[in-house]
Structure 1
């Protein structure tokens, strides 16, 4: 199959080639949207709450403890550490671009950011708190009382804490990756090998699941379509059941939300079980158990080069 790449239209004028205005490419993947317009006071309050350790029952954890915004929105652990000092059951997904996912958590049990926040705060393995305690704690702080009163008519409530946090999280868009710039028409920003990698990504079928604006996060898929991943890995645990834990439907056994690939090069380790320490290992697992194919070393290398173009920016700096 011949590879076709888009190039800027060159218009000769008096012997000089001038680039026409770049037009967005007609590709199945789309660039990230702009940050949505929201109430600035609620976003500012949400940012403060995101870094507030008093959301956890013993004041040991904030959202930022496990979601490091300058390192891809996750942490570098296979399993984050909860308020008890023990690891949680699944790998921490990135909070960057999470608002673009169709469901939250690996098994998709939350249908909104607010529902995800509600569960994490009360989780016996994560923050271990309850909303009565959180509301009482924040209400006892004069600065929070003022901030909430300015942002919400009814002040400090469970719903308002969740809304403020969700409002802030909707601003966590890692824009301006080189691949997004490419999609927007700057076809020279990717190298020839990176463009070949994108073509291989499509040809091998990776795009069948890693699709949409978030390059994932918009569908469920069984982990081990063309091979029993869990038998090969061994030591099965309850979390491996995936969406089955939510629905009890046998067809949902070992089914998970397909993760976004944005910023994937900096969010190791990978998968719900944190079992792949490197991007190369993760690609090998995907080829073996999801695609049932063995790529050439060259094709694997090209795809990895492409995946590295998906790293965006946070607060104007490259991640």
Structure 2
């Protein structure tokens, strides 16, 4: 018989103290974990932006690899299209940060499908990326299968490059907000105009992805905690803009004028307000497009004095007044009979109404006199872009044997002999009268000839609270939407300057090969080779700078050779597909040679819009 003393203890009784110890340990650990979760540093908005960017790049990488697979495996064209469009949507979610931190990679992924000339190195860079692939996907040709495989491999490689560098980008909150607003400007001026989706016309769904991405990144900044009302306004405008894009019937019929005026412009302004409410510094450095512009159509959005050789060349009131005096004085010409105003008459928007200008001794120049209004809002001068600065344009014209047949040394000697000029130069420049100060005075006056206040501009500003509201006719509104959409005009004459200076950085002014005819009969290509005379590169034969079309109602006749007397003729030329559409053989024509199929009513609306600009 086992005694009570030696009887075994039941197992559950021996385990009881250990169980409580384990429970206490687990509870303690959970408590510590809770404390850590409560007090650990939260990810900053910037960290969340970077994490999201890396995640979105991963989605893009997956999408382009899927596209590569369907192309390599020769799946049906419908699968190509679906995979391609999905890849583009994914790219649009990363576009604003990619353009900011890796602009060259962005160009490799989504640059225009046109060869680019490096004029300094006399080298031609062939295009690559999604826009090149778009041609293969939507104009499918089995014989181009191998090239499509090469191009999609390049896209995959460039997205891979993004993946590698994404985590190393040195981001700041100021850069993020700057990039968000620039992307709104990019969407307005390029995106909804079809600039980077010229064949698929997938621009509206892509614009939705742009706005969804910006909205998500803005949410990381906890704006409601700072200003709940502003946060609600922004959320409402984002939702309204996205709904407008989703409601758009199609690319050709989308109401861009209403979208820009009531949604996109409001959005860019509110993003600037949000940046300030969050105490995130706004960049103050000198830029052509001000970092503090609320919209692209602000009266002071652009710095007309930006494209100067140095800050010492910036205009002053004295220099502008002196330049104006010189502009109208024939003292600069060889025969003292012609002035700058002989070919650039204010009442004609600083043109002369001639197909090609009359020079000294009645000789004609080779080209039409361009307007000087907004000449400072472009990165190069002359129709063949042969000089960068307005100072060099002035000296070129003065010395030109046909135009003024003068010389700067002779002009300096003549000016030094006049007390009024001598005194004015001393007040404007420490150096007094020199060849360079003569050029700079003229350039200063031309830089003052900035005009960005048409009825179109005032309507887009929607500033009825400050001014009498601008009114546009139904036809003018229709013309704006055609210009920005079906007519494809805004893919070369970029909004809002309506010249060839490329948004949203506005650092480069483009040239185009249009195939302009020699006569209005449209039977023969004009002989002027344009930029080729300067660069001697075949790709630039017949290339001319894209001019402004502001004040175009006053600047007839049109084109570099003044071949067309009316805007109706100009629109018809583009509607036909340019020179190649007329039957010329121009392998380097940059203007799409397919017909626009604009009706007579649509052509008239385009003309009405341009006359209001």
Over residues 231-276 of structure 1, what are the superposed CA-to-partner deviations in whole Å (9 max), with x where a residue is unaligned?
Answer: 9443743xx1000011000000010001111011111000011000
| SS of equivalent to 1:221 | strand
| SS of equivalent to 1:145 | helix
Q: Is the 8 A contact 1:83 1:126 kept in 2?
A: yes
Query: Equivalents in 2 of 1:212, 1:202: separation in Å?
Result: 8
Decide which of 545, 548, 554 is 1:260's aligned counterpart: 548
Q: Is the 8 A contact 2:323 2:444 kept in 1?
A: yes
Is the aligned partner of 1:215 residue 2:498?
yes
Shift of 1:75: 1.1
Shift of 1:207: 0.6
Query: Equivalents in 1 of 2:319, 2:443: separation in Å?
Result: 9
Query: Equivalents in 1 of 2:539, 2:518: separation in Å?
Result: 16
Equivalent in the alignment of 2:478: 196
Q: Is the 8 A contact 1:131 1:158 kept in 2?
A: yes
Equivalent in the alignment of 2:140: none
Is the aligned partner of 1:54 residue 2:331?
yes
CA shift in 2, pair 1:43/1:66, >3 Å:
same
Query: Equivalents in 2 of 1:206, 1:115: separation in Å?
Result: 30
Query: Equivalents in 2 of 1:117, 1:282: separation in Å?
Result: 29
Q: Which runs of 5+ in 1 are unaligned?
A: 10-21, 311-319
| SS of equivalent to 1:99 | coil
Q: Is the 8 A contact 2:529 2:543 kept in 1?
A: yes
Over residues 114-159 of structure 1, what are the superposed CA-to-partner deviations in whole Å (9 max), with x where a residue is unaligned?
Answer: 1100100101111111111111111111111111111111111010
Q: Is the 8 A contact 1:24 1:184 kept in 2?
A: no
The range that moved more, 31-40 or 99-108, is 31-40
CA shift in 2, pair 1:39/1:7, >3 Å:
closer
Is the aligned partner of 1:155 residue 2:445?
no
Q: Is the 8 A contact 1:215 1:261 kept in 2?
A: yes
Provide the aligned C-alpha RMSD in A. 2.6
Shift of 1:38: 3.6
CA shift in 2, pair 1:213/1:138, >3 Å:
farther
Equivalent in the alignment of 2:559: 271
The range that moved more, 180-189 or 126-135, is 180-189
Would you tell me which structure has more helix in proportion to its own residues? 2
Once the two structures are superposed, the pairs formed by residues 10-25 of structure 1 within 5 Å of their partners are: none
Q: Is the 8 A contact 2:353 2:556 kept in 1?
A: yes
Is the aligned partner of 1:181 residue 2:458?
yes
Is the aligned partner of 1:295 residue 2:598?
yes
CA shift in 2, pair 1:113/1:212, >3 Å:
farther
Q: Is the 8 A contact 1:100 1:217 kept in 2?
A: no
Equivalent in the alignment of 1:308: 611
Q: Is the 8 A contact 1:25 1:184 kept in 2?
A: no
Q: Is the 8 A contact 1:23 1:185 kept in 2?
A: no
Shift of 1:52: 1.0
Shift of 1:214: 2.3
Equivalent in the alignment of 1:68: 345
Equivalenced residues, count: 293
Shift of 1:302: 1.0
Over residues 180-236 of structure 1, what are the superposed CA-to-partner deviations in whole Å (9 max), with x where a residue is unaligned?
Answer: 112212586212221111111122211100004420132111022xxx846944374
Decide which of 341, 348, 361 is 1:84's aligned counterpart: 361
Q: Is the 8 A contact 1:243 1:253 kept in 2?
A: yes
Is the aligned partner of 1:234 residue 2:514?
no
Is the aligned partner of 1:144 residue 2:144?
no
Query: Equivalents in 2 of 1:236, 1:162: separation in Å?
Result: 32
Query: Equivalents in 2 of 1:32, 1:210: separation in Å?
Result: 19
Shift of 1:285: 1.3
Is the aligned partner of 1:44 residue 2:334?
no
Q: Is the 8 A contact 1:32 1:173 kept in 2?
A: no
Query: Equivalents in 2 of 1:271, 1:181: separation in Å?
Result: 28
Give 1 or 2 for the bigger CA radius of gyration. Answer: 2
Query: Equivalents in 2 of 1:7, 1:158: separation in Å?
Result: 46
Q: Is the 8 A contact 1:32 1:214 kept in 2?
A: no
Equivalent in the alignment of 1:14: none
The range that moved more, 284-293 or 72-81, is 284-293
| Bigger RCO of structures 1 and 2 (CA < 8 A, at least 6 apart) | 1
Is the aligned partner of 1:172 residue 2:428?
no
Query: Equivalents in 1 of 2:570, 2:533: separation in Å?
Result: 24
Q: Which runs of 5+ in 2 are unaligned?
A: 1-249, 270-294, 306-313, 464-468, 502-509, 579-590
- With the length of structure 2 as denominator, give the TM-score of the two structures: 0.45
